[in-house]
Structure 1
Amino acid sequence: MGVIATYDARKVTTTVGGVILTGFPDGSFVKCSKDNDNFTTSSGAQGDVAIAISGDALGTIEVTLSQTSPQVSYMDKLAVSRTIVPVWVNSNNEVKEVTGGTKAMITKPADKEYGKEVTNRVYTIKVFDYQVK
């Protein structure tokens, strides 16, 4: 019999400036990605290969909150003030993952949409020292 593993979204925490974000909508609520590859390669006419190691440590974390989240105004204020803060996403599931950095800024306040139903607020966070632990 194969391995049976479980995942629980309640074991994923996202902190921005030391504040734990809450009030996520249904579905995917946080996405983390490194902006560029760790290296590039080139191949010569006779097949020799050169590898250029990248020192680029930029990453992007996209957080989706429900418009009713208590942290919406906090995130908007951080974006407007252009404050540099630490951002960490911790998954304490069976496979432990830590992603983020100590220096990050929210690119802009979330777009606002209002209607009959609760809408989402999406924040793009640029991480200047992106790490995967």
Structure 2
Amino acid sequence: MANITRYNAKDCTIMVNNVYITGLGEDMVSGEKDEDFFEPSVGAQGDIVACEVNNTLGTVTITVQPTSPQKSFLMGLAGVAEFVPLWVVNKGLNERFGGTKAKLKKYPEMSRNATAEDMEFEFQVFDYVVEATE
């Protein structure tokens, strides 16, 4: 018998500096480590060295609707000197990603047309991790 796992977007919570982000856009959130865990180096005779990359940077992009109650909170993080914790938790998939030291990279692109387009807030996470939760 096939193993079927349930997924519901409502099981995903996003917290920035202990504030729950709501009014999410269609793309909601994405996270990615900025570099690979290692870089191979091949010598002239074919010897290979797996050089470990110690870069812990990651990028988390949060997409909100322009009517999100937390839009002004997120905009207020622009240029703030302090790091803030940023965690994305999905209870249904038993996973979380983010870190304890994040900063907003820049203001989101502002585009207003016939429809109210979503806004993307891109954060640099300096201690980015992906973890399985219980």
Q: Using structure 1 for the length normalisation, give the TM-score.
A: 0.92
**What is the alpha-carbon distance in structure 1 between the residues aligned to residue 95 and residue 18 of structure 2?**
18
List runs of 5+ in structure 1 lacking aligned partners: none
**What is the alpha-carbon distance in structure 2 between the residues aligned to residue 80 and residue 66 of structure 1?**
22
1:44 counterpart residue number: 43
**What is the alpha-carbon distance in structure 2 between the residues aligned to residue 33 and residue 81 of structure 1?**
23
Identity of aligned residues (%): 36
List runs of 5+ in structure 2 lacking aligned partners: none
Q: Using structure 2 for the length normalisation, give the TM-score.
A: 0.92
> For residues 1-133 of structure 1, what are the structure 2 equivalents within 5 Å?
1-26=1-26, 28-93=27-92, 95-133=93-131
Matched pairs, number: 131
**What is the alpha-carbon distance in structure 2 between the residues aligned to residue 9 and residue 18 of structure 1?**
20
**What is the alpha-carbon distance in structure 2 between the residues aligned to residue 57 and residue 81 of structure 1?**
21
Segments ≥4 residues shifted beyond 3 Å: none
Query: What SS is found at the alignment partner of 2:122?
Result: strand
Query: What SS is found at the alignment partner of 1:75?
Result: helix
